[in-house]
Amino acid sequence: MKRMIVCVKPVPDPKAWDRLQMDPVSKTLIREGIPSIINPLDKHAVEAALEMKDLFGAEVVLLSMAPCDAYPVLREVLAMGADRAVLLSDKAFAGSDTLATSRILAQGIRNIGEFDLIFCGNFTLDGSTAQVPSQVAEFLDIPNVMHVCDMEIPNTQSLLLTQKIEQGTVKLEAKPPLLLSFTKDANKPRYISFMEILAAEKREIQTWDNANLNIDETLIGLKGSPTQMADLLLQSKQRKGIRLTGNPEEIARQLADKIHQLGII
Amino acid sequence: MDFLLSEREELLRKSVREFAEAEIPPKIEAMEKTGEFPIELLEPMARLGITGIIAPPEYGGVGLGYLARTIALEELGRVCAAIPMAMQVHHMAIAALNDFGTDEQKQKYIPPLAKGDTMGVVAVTEPSGGSDVVGMQATAELKGDKWILNGRKCFITNSHTSDFWIVMAKTAEGAKGLSAFIVEKNHPGAKTGRVEHKIGLRGSNTGELVFDNCEIPKENILGQEGGGLAVALKTVSESGRPGMAATALGIINACLEEAAKFASERVLYGKPISSLQAISFYLADIYTELDICRLLCYRASWMKDQNMRCDNENAMAKSYTCDAAVRCARKAVEIHGSYGILQEYKVQRLLRDAVVTVPAGGTGQIGKVVLARAALAPYRKKK
C-alpha cells in the first residue's frame, strides 16, 4: 500500500444554516460569510484511511475542491493525521455541478499520481446528491463501493467491506485500486490531538488551479455543468388539521377511509 | 493589541469542545451520584494532550503553554466543571515538578502525569486552613537518609486518584522553614483518609492525606530545604489560580448558553421570556461577565507564556471569575424560574459548581489581599 487519497469538502456549518441564502441567478449557495466545517461523513472517510495507514503504513493525501479560504478546514483534517493536502481552487471551477466536480477531482487525483485507494464520504451535507464518488470512479475507470458501513482489512491485497442496502447489508471482498464511500456507521472518527495540531502545522497544503490540471474550460464550472437548477421552492412542513363532521359512526368511517387513502395501514 | 486567537488555539478549542461534548455528558450522572472522578476519562484525555498540555515535550508532554491550557480547561468546564477542576490540580503538580524538580525527579514523575498514568496532587491545605501557609502543622524531619513526615492534609483534589503527591511540611519554624516533598502512596506511613462530599464539582475527587511517621527517601525533597513556600506560592499563583479561573470561565460559558436557550424557548404572555427586559438584562449581564472574565483569564495566561510576572493578573482573574461564575449561575437559575432548581436542569449544577470554585485554589479573599497589596504599593510609606 503506497498511497490513499481522501476527498474532503468544506460545507456550510449547520449552525449557520439560518443565514444561508441562494444566488437568485445561478441558484447556487452563497457561501461568503458562512463558516465552514468539514463535511461530517468525510471525517469517516479520513478515519478509514488513517486506520489503514496505522496498520500498513501509506501516504494519506487529502484532496479538496474549494475556494482558497478552505485552508483552516484542511488544516483541521490534516491534524487528524493525514500527510498532506491538495486544494483545487480556481474561479473556473465555480458553479460546477456533480459531473464537472467529479471531472476536476479525477484530474486532481491523476495529477497526484499513483494510488491504491480513494476514500470519500457517502454524500455531502450541502448538496446531498451522493453522485460525486461514483462519477469520480467512472472518470478514473476503477470500481467503487458506496454505502460502506464497515471495513475489515485482513491484508493490503483485499478488503472485506460491508455495504448498507435498503433491506440490510451486503458483504463484499474488493481489491485495490478502488474507490470507497463511507456512511457514519463505518467508524468513529478520532479526536484531533494537540500533538497532531502541532504536527499538522508543518504539513504541506498545495494549491492547484486549472493551469495545473489543464482541463478544457468548457467541461468545468457552470459551462461544463449539464445540471441547471430550474427553480427552488421551500418545502412546507406545517401540520394541517382536517375537521371531520357527522355522528360518531360517520366520523369513524371518514377517519378509517382517510387512513386507507394515506396508505398508513 | 491583537485579541485574536491563532489558528492553532482555535483548532485546540474545537478539538476539546468536540471531545467534551461527546465524552463527558454520559459520565455526569454517575459523577453527581458518587462524587468520584471518572478515571476512565484520563486515558482519552491523555491521548488528546490535555493531561500533558503544559509539560515539556522532553518529559512526555505537549508543551503548549498556559493560554492553550486555559482554553482547554474552559472548554471542559463548559460541559462539566469537575473535570477541569481535577485537571488543573493535575497541571499544578506538573508545574511544581518542572519548576523545582531535579532532572531525575522530572524524568521519573512528569511522564506518568503527562501520559495520564496517574493524577497530580499538590497538598498544602490542612484542617486548620490553607491560606496561612506558614502556619501549617505538618512536619518533616531528616533522620539518616530518610525524611520522616507527620501530619494531615485536607481538601486535597485528586487525593485518592493519584499514585504520588507533592506535600508541603515544616522542616523548621517560620516562612523559611517550609519544604516540599514528593510522597509516593506506597511510602511506609502514607495513607489516604476520608473522602469529602462536596455540594458542587462533585466529579472531582477531594479528600484527606494522612502521614504517620511516613518515610520518604532523602532525595524526594522538591526544591531546596526551606524553599517550600516558594514552591507553594509559585505553583498556586501561576498554575492553581489560572486553572481555577478557567474552570469558572467554563461555568460562565454554560450559564450563558443555558440561560439564553431557555429564555428563547420559554413562552410567557405569548412571547419568549427573552423579550422581557428584566430577563434580557440578566442575559446582558452574563454576556458581559463572560467577556470580562475571558479577557482577564486569557491575558494572565498569555503573560505567563511570555515569561512575564503575572501573579496579580492571575489573582484578579481567579477572584473575579469565580465570583462572577456564582453571580451568573444565580441569574441563570433565576431565568429558569422553578425549573432552575430541578435536578434535570443543568443550571442548578452550574450554581453548585460555581460556589465551590470560590474557596478552592486559594480563596477569593486571599486573591483580593494580593490585589489590594498591589493597588497600595505606590502609596506604601518606606520604613
Domains: count for chain A? 1
Whether residue B207 is found in the same domain as residue B247? no
CB spacing of B12 vs A194 below 8 angstroms: yes
Q: Which residues contact B78 (CB under 8 A, 6 or more apart)?
A: B17, B20, B250, B251, B253, B254, B257
Whether residue B213 is found in the same domain as residue B272? no
Is A261 domain-assigned? Answer: no
pLDDT one-digit tens code per residue, B10-47:
999 999 999 999 999 999 999 999 999 999 999 999 99
Q: Which one of B85-89, B361-365, B368-372 scores highest in mean pLDDT?
A: B85-89
**Which residue, of B55, B86, B114, is where some domain finishes?**
B114
Interface test with B, best of A36, A191, A198, A201 (most B CBs within 10 A): A191
Whether residue B244 is found in the same domain as residue B184? no
Nearest-CA distance B210 → chain A (Å) = 37
What is the C-alpha separation between B217 and B154, in angstroms, rounded?
23
For chain A, what percent of residues have pLDDT higher than 70? 100
Chain A residues close to B18, C-beta within 8 Å: 191-192
Interface test with A, best of B5, B9, B14, B45 (most A CBs within 10 A): B14
Whether residue B148 is found in the same domain as residue B195? yes
Interface check for B44 against chain A (CB to CB < 8 A): the answer is yes
pLDDT one-digit tens code per residue, A177-233:
999 999 999 999 999 999 999 999 999 999 999 999 999 999 999 888 998 877 877
Boundaries of domain holding A99:
3-219
Chain A, residues 116-175, CB within 8 A of chain B, namely none
Nearest-CA distance B73 → chain A (Å) = 14
Whether residue B240 is found in the same domain as residue B372? yes
CB spacing of A198 vs B62 below 8 angstroms: yes
Cβ contact B159:B209 at 8 Å: yes
Task: Report the chain A residue with the minimal C-alpha distance to residue B20.
Answer: A191
Over 70: is that where the pLDDT of B90 sits? yes
Is B383 domain-assigned? Answer: no
pLDDT one-digit tens code per residue, B167-197:
999 999 888 899 999 999 999 999 999 999 9
Nearest-CA distance B58 → chain A (Å) = 13
Nearest-CA distance B95 → chain A (Å) = 19
Is B222 domain-assigned? Answer: yes
What is the C-alpha separation between B159 and B196, in angstroms, rounded?
10
Nearest-CA distance B282 → chain A (Å) = 25
CB spacing of B18 vs A191 below 8 angstroms: yes
Indicate the average pLDDT of chain B. Answer: 94
Interface check for A192 against chain B (CB to CB < 8 A): the answer is yes
Is A248 domain-assigned? Answer: no
pLDDT one-digit tens code per residue, A96-151:
899 999 999 999 999 999 999 999 999 888 878 889 999 999 999 999 999 999 99
CATH number for A161? 3.40.50.620
Burial class (CB in 10 A: 0-12, 13-18, 19+), B362: buried
CA B1 to chain centre: 28
Is B177 domain-assigned? Answer: yes
Task: Report the chain B residue with the minimal C-alpha distance to residue A201.
Answer: B8
Domains: count for chain B? 3
Interface check for A26 against chain B (CB to CB < 8 A): the answer is no
**Region for residue A135 given its phi and psi (left: phi exceeds 0; alpha: psi -120 to 50; beta: otherwise):** alpha
Whether residue B236 is found in the same domain as residue B225? no
Is B146 domain-assigned? Answer: yes
Per-residue confidence (pLDDT) for residue B383, from 0 to 100: 66
Is B199 domain-assigned? Answer: yes
B11, B50, B62: residue with CB nearest A76:
B11
Range in B75-79, B98-102, B128-132, B269-273 the model is least confident about? B128-132
Is A246 domain-assigned? Answer: no
In which band, very low, low, confident or very high, does the pLDDT at B382 lie, cut at 50, 70 and 90? confident
Range in A4-8, A69-73, A176-180, B330-334 the model is least confident about? A69-73
Task: Report the chain B residue with the minimal C-alpha distance to residue A74.
Answer: B11
Interface check for A194 against chain B (CB to CB < 8 A): the answer is yes
**Which residue, of B114, B130, B153, is where some domain finishes?**
B114
- B294 phi/psi in degrees, rounded to 5: -65, -40
Nearest-CA distance B136 → chain A (Å) = 39
Whether residue B98 is found in the same domain as residue B168? no
Over 80: is that where the pLDDT of A64 sits? yes
**Which residue, of B114, B137, B156, is where some domain finishes?**
B114
Over 90: is that where the pLDDT of A247 sits? yes
B11, B19, B50: residue with CB nearest A75:
B11
Whether residue B246 is found in the same domain as residue B370? yes
CB spacing of A197 vs B15 below 8 angstroms: yes
CB spacing of A201 vs B8 below 8 angstroms: yes
Name the more confident of B31 and A265.
B31
Task: Report the chain B residue with the minimal C-alpha distance to residue A192.
Answer: B15
Interface check for A78 against chain B (CB to CB < 8 A): the answer is no
pTM of the model: 0.90
Chain A, residues 48-67, CB within 8 A of chain B, namely none
- B339 phi/psi in degrees, rounded to 5: -60, -30
Whether residue B247 is found in the same domain as residue B347? yes
Nearest-CA distance A68 → chain B (Å) = 16
CATH number for B99? 1.10.540.10
What is the C-alpha separation between B120 and B53, in angstroms, rounded?
13
Cα dihedral B348, B350, B355, B360 sign: positive
Over 70: is that where the pLDDT of B130 sits? no
Is B154 domain-assigned? Answer: yes
Boundaries of domain holding B339:
232-376
Burial class (CB in 10 A: 0-12, 13-18, 19+), A216: exposed
Is B382 domain-assigned? Answer: no
Q: Which residues contact B41 (CB under 8 A, 6 or more apart)?
A: B23, B24, B27, B83
